[in-house]
Amino acid sequence: MISAVLLETLRCPLTKQRLKPAPESLVAFLENERVAGRLRDQAGHPVIQTIHAGLLREDGQAFYPVRNDIPVMLECIPIAGLL
């Protein structure tokens, strides 16, 4: 789990918007899309690693995975058009 202090300081590197923990339903949906081979990162590459948790950008248009309680801010998954 990400501490509240860290979460308060984290921002999307692209837009500087706040981030919040992604709902479990979104995480499950993205993992299903990944398993089906339909999930791509911002560069258009298939997402290979399992998605267990993540951070959702304030506008709801981008998802950053969290692995081993560490936000992976270099791996943006655009979710506009997926939902």
pLDDT bin (cut points 50, 70, 90) of residue 82 is: confident
Domain ranges of the chain: 4-78
Could you give the residue ranges of the DSSP H alpha helices within the chain?
4-9, 24-35
pLDDT in tens, 29-53: 999 999 999 999 999 999 999 999 9
Q: Which residues contact 17 (CB under 8 A, 6 or more apart)?
A: 11, 57, 58, 59
User: What's the pLDDT at 80?
Assistant: 75
30 CA to centre of own chain: 9
Q: What's the whole-model pTM score?
A: 0.91
